[in-house]
Structure 1
């Protein structure tokens, strides 16, 4: 069930609970979160560290999923070497809860003005419907954070890696390092205490050719680790 906008209401017990999606009762997720905040001096520092840990632990790739419900689980995301925005936001939400930071899963439609040609062809648009983010309650306020793009990928695209200072939102950069339009937030769908799987797929079906989306391009190396060609 969707919660209200993340800046409007105080957190509840549900924002700290382990769930089938946010399974920080899993030993690996619990250990990951604990290790990520080791040495943190306060809540803000814990939030900064957990954000960077998730951003870097799983490399970003939009081609790693068949979108089965079982893939939208924090422990599954952690076990993957690469993943995309929603599973990474799920992992951040679960990890934050594990270290006592209230967290919710959020969704927004974003337009990626620098999307690769093959990714745009696969999706049929440069609009990413139900892009995932995580809303963390830190220092008395909700903050929206997007841990999707790891630092190496950002460097490849000439965009600064997104950092979270614990006090302001950390959403995708509107412009890249060369001043080109990058990510444009179009619609915010709010935040959730559990994964709205059916709602997300229904929204995708309205905007995408699902057969083409599930097939994916086999030859797009845009998001690989190798350096971009000069």
Structure 2
């Protein structure tokens, strides 16, 4: 599989993505250092927002996401993958089902559940091994929820904030759907429609949702 080339979704040759990675084009930086810096930038620059759903493929191009100030887990993962590939670091999308346990009242109200699926994260190939990264929750949101920001050290997976500062369970991974060569639009739509029937039954042909 090719995890370095641009695609329709990972359009890293675009001006928007090149602008993001430009500050990291420094020969003195290692791939690990670049990956850590890009992870932190994507984690904190885009505010996490799970309440906007779309099944229009144009909305999932990295260059389009880069123009926005917020995004959900898949949006942020796509941007990070595009940036990593732009810096010659192999990267691919990885999907799962997760369950949130803190600050879930609005999630349950809008989705009918505190289970989020598909949840997007990133696989990145750094120093000879694949690592899983989840740049989803920006630091300011974590501070509000009293959860430590999820840091990435360039050597270990960074996917799970299991507990808050007071020991309350925060996130739980329920199911792993594996990695995909490109953004799997059909799988994502089928998965969401299956898990959130209360949203989609009354809007069967709708492809944009602001919850």
TM-score by length of 2: 0.91
Q: Distance in 1 between matches of 2:105 and 2:24?
A: 36
Q: Distance in 1 between matches of 2:55 and 2:74?
A: 10
Task: Name which of 151, 175, 182 aligns with 2:163.
Answer: 175
Match of 2:120 in 1: 132
Is contact 2:47-2:138 (8 Å) kept?
yes
Q: Distance in 2 between matches of 1:23 and 1:29?
A: 8
Match of 1:94 in 2: 82
Q: Distance in 2 between matches of 1:126 and 1:59?
A: 19
> What residue ranges of structure 1 are gaps of 5+ in the alignment?
1-11, 218-230
Match of 1:5 in 2: none
Q: Distance in 2 between matches of 1:95 and 1:141?
A: 18
Cα deviation for residue 39 of structure 1 reads 7.1
Q: Distance in 2 between matches of 1:158 and 1:38?
A: 35
Q: Distance in 1 between matches of 2:153 and 2:28?
A: 13
Q: Distance in 2 between matches of 1:154 and 1:39?
A: 33
Match of 1:220 in 2: none
Is 1:18 matched with 2:6?
yes
> What residue ranges of structure 2 are gaps of 5+ in the alignment?
none
Match of 2:16 in 1: 28
How many residues of Structure 1 are paired with residues of Structure 2 in the alignment? Answer: 205
Q: Distance in 2 between matches of 1:135 and 1:196?
A: 15
TM-score by length of 1: 0.84
Is contact 1:135-1:143 (8 Å) kept?
yes
Pairwise CA RMSD: 1.8
Match of 1:223 in 2: none
Matches within 5 A, 1:10-89: 12=1, 14-36=2-24, 38=26, 41-89=29-77
Q: Distance in 2 between matches of 1:206 and 1:110?
A: 15
Evaluate the alpha carbon distance shift between residue 39 and residue 64 of structure 1 in structure 2; reply closer, same or farther with a 3 A threshold. farther
Cα deviation for residue 37 of structure 1 reads 5.5
Is contact 2:104-2:114 (8 Å) kept?
no
Q: Distance in 2 between matches of 1:36 and 1:80?
A: 21
